[in-house]
A and B are shown apart, each in its own frame.
Chain A
Amino acid sequence: MLRVEHVDAGYGDVQVLWDVSFHVAENEFVVLVGANGAGKSTIMRTISSMVPISGGQVLFQGQRLDRVAPYRIVEHGIAHVPEARQLFPEMTVAENLELGSLKGGAKTQRKQTMEWVFELFPRLRERRKQLAGTMSGGEQQMCAIARGLMSKPKLIMFDEPSLGLSPLLTQEIFRLALKIHKEGITILMVEQNVKQTLGICDRAYVLENGKIVLEGKGKELLENEQVKQAFLGI
Chain B
Amino acid sequence: MEMFIQTLVAGILIGGVYALIGIGMTLIMGVMRIINLAHGQLMMVAMYITFVLYQFLNIDPYFALLVAPPALFLIGAAIQRYLLNPLIKIESIIPENQVLMTVGIGIVLTETIRFMFSSDYKSVKTSYSTATFNIGAISWNVPMVVAFILAVVLTASLFFFLLKTDVGKSVRATAQNKDAAMIMGINAEWITQLTYGLGAAMAAAGGTLLLPIYYLFPDVGGPFTLKAFIITILGGLGSAVGAIMGGLVLGVAESLGATYISMALKDAIGMVIFLLVLVFLPGGLKQLTKV
- Asked if residues A69 and B183 are in contact (CB atoms below 8 Å), the reply is no
A208 at the interface (CB under 8 A from B): no
CB-defined interface of B164-177 with A at 8 Å, one 1/0 digit per residue? 00100110110011
A37 at the interface (CB under 8 A from B): no
- Asked if residues B186 and A89 are in contact (CB atoms below 8 Å), the reply is no
CB-defined interface of A71-101 with B at 8 Å, one 1/0 digit per residue? 1111100001010001111110001001110
Given contacts A88-B176, A88-B177, contact A99 B170 (CB under 8 A): yes
**In the complex, which range does the number of interface residues on chain A fall in?**
20 to 34
Shortest distance in angstroms between B266's beta carbon and chain A's nearest beta carbon?
35
- Asked if residues B188 and A99 are in contact (CB atoms below 8 Å), the reply is no
Given contacts A87-B180, A98-B166, A102-B166, contact A75 B185 (CB under 8 A): yes
- Asked if residues B172 and A80 are in contact (CB atoms below 8 Å), the reply is no
- Asked if residues A80 and B176 are in contact (CB atoms below 8 Å), the reply is no
Residues of A within 8 A of B181 (CB): 88, 99
Assembly CA distance A75 to B182 (angstroms): 12
A179 at the interface (CB under 8 A from B): no
Assembly CA distance A102 to B166 (angstroms): 7
Residues of A within 8 A of B2 (CB): none
Assembly CA distance A103 to B167 (angstroms): 12
- Which residue of A69, A73, A99, A151 is within 8 Å of B173 (Cβ)? A99
Residues of A within 8 A of B182 (CB): 50, 70-71
Residues of A within 8 A of B185 (CB): 71-75, 102-103, 151
Assembly CA distance A132 to B6 (angstroms): 44
- Asked if residues B184 and A99 are in contact (CB atoms below 8 Å), the reply is yes
Assembly CA distance A69 to B188 (angstroms): 11
A141 at the interface (CB under 8 A from B): no
B130 at the interface (CB under 8 A from A): no
A46 at the interface (CB under 8 A from B): no
CB-defined interface of A122-159 with B at 8 Å, one 1/0 digit per residue? 00000000000000000000000001000100000000
A62 at the interface (CB under 8 A from B): no
Shortest distance in angstroms between A198's beta carbon and chain B's nearest beta carbon?
27
Please, which residue of chain B has its CB at the minimum distance from the CB of A48? B183
Residues of A within 8 A of B183 (CB): 48, 50, 70, 73-74, 80, 82, 86
- Which residue of A12, A50, A90 is within 8 Å of B176 (Cβ)? A90
B111 at the interface (CB under 8 A from A): no
Given contacts A90-B176, A91-B176, contact A99 B187 (CB under 8 A): no
- Which residue of B166, B180, B187 is within 8 Å of A88 (Cβ)? B180
Residues of B within 8 A of A88 (CB): 172-173, 176-177, 180-181
Residues of B within 8 A of A87 (CB): 177, 180
Shortest distance in angstroms between A110's beta carbon and chain B's nearest beta carbon?
10
Shortest distance in angstroms between A197's beta carbon and chain B's nearest beta carbon?
22
B120 at the interface (CB under 8 A from A): no
Of B173, B179, B180, B184, chain A has the most CB atoms within 10 Å of the CB of: B184
Interface residues in A97-126 (C-beta closer than 8 Å to B):
98-100, 102-103, 107
Interface pairs (30), CB distance under 8 Å: A50-B179, A70-B183, A71-B182, A71-B186, A71-B187, A71-B188, A73-B183, A73-B185, A75-B185, A80-B183, A82-B179, A86-B183, A87-B177, A88-B172, A88-B173, A88-B176, A88-B180, A89-B177, A90-B172, A90-B176, A91-B169, A91-B173, A98-B166, A99-B169, A99-B170, A99-B173, A99-B184, A102-B166, A102-B170, A107-B166
Among all A-B residue pairs, the 4 with the closest Cβ atoms: A86-B180, A74-B185, A88-B176, A70-B182
**Inter-chain pairs besides A71-B186, A99-B170, 13 sampled, C-beta below 8 Å:** A50-B179, A50-B183, A71-B187, A71-B188, A73-B183, A82-B183, A89-B176, A90-B172, A91-B172, A98-B166, A102-B184, A102-B185, A107-B166
